[in-house]
Amino acid sequence: MKNSQLYKGSLNTIIMKLLEENGKMYGYEITQKVKLITQGELNITEGALYPALHKLEAEGLLDVEIEKVDNRMRKYYKLTESGQKETVNRLSELEDFIRNMQSLVNPSPKLEF
Amino acid sequence: MKNSQLYKGSLNTIIMKLLEENGKMYGYEITQKVKLITQGELNITEGALYPALHKLEAEGLLDVEIEKVDNRMRKYYKLTESGQKETVNRLSELEDFIRNMQSLVNPSPKLEF
DNA sequence: AGTTATGTATAAGAATCTTATGTATATTTA
DNA sequence: TAAATATACATAAGATTCTTATACATAACT
């Protein structure tokens, strides 16, 4: 990903959210989209991305469809029905996570008398 | 931690922020504080916490001070000078991380015409 | 002709965490 | 009063996720 360890564990959620939003995407496209959205701050490495895609597919959350464009292979991934349901859960978990982290680092200021 | 993988990588930042806020804390106290703040959602396990504290100490970010209270040992940790500086960086990274994740999952709505 | 961009893949190792286990004392509950 | 729970620290084995490096192949740019 990047230098910060914080992104560890968030890749699956990112992939699934992008697929939910865009219907179908291929690996390289995902890396570029993420780079764009985060203004270059988050760079997903191939070594992290492809194994993650393969695992999500093996778990039945993604379907794959191979296309050949400009004589180059593309593997388009999309959410299965099961994947769509799971995406809802993952996004809900992410919201809880963010809320909890904000509670921890932005505690409500102590009242002074 | 909990069930969600999302917390992976965030433990060090949590520890350092709590120490910045509270001056000094001991391990068990940290687990209870986190449980309280997150309303039971985040439970830090000892297997994660103690190695993390030892590593932060080895890196010179924490100092330790042993006390005996009620005939039971407590190891109080506090930030070193270096640890205070590093905490500022970690919190800044966390803010970037949260911002990026929100950009990814809450994209600005597409304009419709 | 060489570099960069596009496109996928895997393997070795690092880092972080879970789960299980161990030790010890204090307090609460049945 | 015996058993269970809470307090308090520690480590080891294994799982998961990621980084880094390498590999192959085509297209576009310089």
Please report, rounded to whole angstroms, the spatial distance between the CA atom of protein residue B37 and the C1' atom of nucleotide D20.
Answer: 38
Domain that holds residue A38: 5-104
Please indicate, yes or no, if residue B36 is contained in any of the structural domains. Answer: yes
Q: Are A78 and A65 in contact (CB under 8 A)?
A: yes
Nucleotide nearest to B67 (CA to C1'): D8
Q: How distant is the Cα of B29 from the closest Cα of chain A, in angstroms? A: 14
Please indicate, yes or no, if residue B78 is contained in any of the structural domains. Answer: yes
CATH number of domain containing A33: 1.10.10.10
**Does residue B109 approach strand D to less than 7 Å at its CB?**
no
The pLDDT score that the predictor gives to residue B19 is: 98
Please indicate, yes or no, if residue B95 is contained in any of the structural domains. Answer: yes
Query: Distance between CA B64 and CA B76 in Å, rounded?
Result: 6
Please indicate, yes or no, if residue B50 is contained in any of the structural domains. Answer: yes
B96: its two tokens: 């970037």
Dump pLDDT digits (tens) for B82-99: 999 999 999 999 999 999
| Mean pLDDT, rounded, for A44-60 | 97
The answer, for B10 touching chain A at a CB cutoff of 8 Å, is yes
Nucleotide nearest to B11 (CA to C1'): C16
Structural element, H or E, at residue A67: strand A62-69
> With helix as H, strand as E and coil as C, how does chain B read?
CCCCHHHCCCHHHHHHHHHHHHCEEEHHHHHHHHHHHCCCCCCCCHHHHHHHHHHHHHCCCEEEEEEEECCEEEEEEEECHHHHHHHHHHHHHHHHHHHHHHHHHCCCCCCCC
Dump pLDDT digits (tens) for B7-16: 999 999 999 9
Please indicate, yes or no, if residue B96 is contained in any of the structural domains. Answer: yes
The pLDDT score that the predictor gives to residue A113 is: 66
Amino acid sitting at position B86: E
The pLDDT score that the predictor gives to residue A6 is: 95
Q: For residue B108, is pLDDT > 80?
A: no
Residue labelled with tokens 């999309």: A78
Please indicate, yes or no, if residue B107 is contained in any of the structural domains. Answer: no
Please indicate, yes or no, if residue B34 is contained in any of the structural domains. Answer: yes
CB contacts, 8 Å: B103 with chain A: 37-38
Nearest to B105 among A12, A17, A105 (CB): A17
pLDDT band at B112 (very low <50, low <70, confident <90, very high): low
Whole-number Cα distances in Å, A68 to A7, A65, A72, A75 = 32, 10, 5, 9
Please report, rounded to whole angstroms, the spatial distance between the CA atom of protein residue B23 and the C1' atom of nucleotide D8.
Answer: 20
The answer, for B107 touching chain A at a CB cutoff of 8 Å, is yes
Residue A41, Cβ density class (10 Å: 0-12 exposed, 13-18 middle, ≥19 buried): middle
Dump pLDDT digits (tens) for A1-45: 556 899 999 999 999 999 999 999 999 999 999 999 999 999 999
Dump pLDDT digits (tens) for B27-73: 999 999 999 999 999 999 999 999 999 999 999 999 999 999 999 99
The pLDDT score that the predictor gives to residue B110 is: 65
Dump pLDDT digits (tens) for A72-113: 999 999 999 999 999 999 999 999 999 999 999 887 766 666
Please indicate, yes or no, if residue A110 is contained in any of the structural domains. Answer: no
The answer, for A91 touching chain B at a CB cutoff of 8 Å, is yes
A112: its two tokens: 């002074």
Q: How many domains does chain A have?
A: 1
